[in-house]
Amino acid sequence: MSQHTPESAELLPLDRQRTQSTISAFSDAGAGAHTTAADSEPQVLYEDNYIQVSQDGLIIKRYYFPVPTSKFIPWSKIQTVQTAKEADVRWYALKAWGMGLGNIWWSQKFQIVNFKKNGQLGVNSLADIMDSNIVVKIRDQWVRCGCYVEYPQEVMRTVRRMLVRTHPHAE
């Protein structure tokens, strides 16, 4: 059985088999899937090395400094989730971990080198960086959360589905 690989998967290296399994699990589960009482963990809709999207909310991995622990954000607290490009993040607001010159606290991401389509190593362009990072605005907080994601299109599609379900006024 062949699995469909998102377009963005060719641009980003990492644990593709695990991530594709998670993406496929979400796709196969359909929009009506839900966690049952027998499940001890919330249903994971998407997960990669940097973020987990579940029916309960987002977990940004390696968020806090100096100890790289995760940050959980429930859907009820999330105001918006956008790519860095959609959020109009400037280059000087980016940082590998912590806060750049802006109001975004970035989770830890040491990987600035990626495999390109031809398999060669290369440094990410600013456009690649803006498309592969998301920014989460939490209600009543000035500081936003920033996070690199392996498959930004899948993350944004999954997050938007959950925001519509948990925020009836969202579009």
pLDDT in tens, 147-168: 999 999 999 999 999 998 887 6
CB atoms within 10 A of CB 165: 12
With CA atoms as reference, report the closest residue to 11 among 94, 108, 119, 95: 119
Residue 11 and residue 117 in contact, taking contact as beta carbons nearer than 8 Å: yes
Residue-wise burial string across 70-83, b where 16 or more C-beta atoms lie within 10 A, e elsewhere: ebebebeebebbbb
Question: CA–CA separation, 50 vs 148, rounded Å?
Answer: 6
Domain residues of the chain, as ranges?
A: 44-166
pLDDT tens digits for 6-61? 443 333 333 434 444 344 334 444 434 444 444 567 799 999 999 999 999 999 99
Please state the φ and ψ torsions of residue 73, each to the nearest 5 degrees. Answer: -125, 110
| CA 89/CA 128 separation, integer angstroms | 13
Least confident range of 42-46, 121-125, 167-171: 167-171
Q: CATH number of 44-166: 2.30.29, 2.60.120, 3.30.460, 3.30.160?
A: 2.30.29
- Read off the pLDDT of each residue in 59-84 and give the average, rounded to a whole number: 93
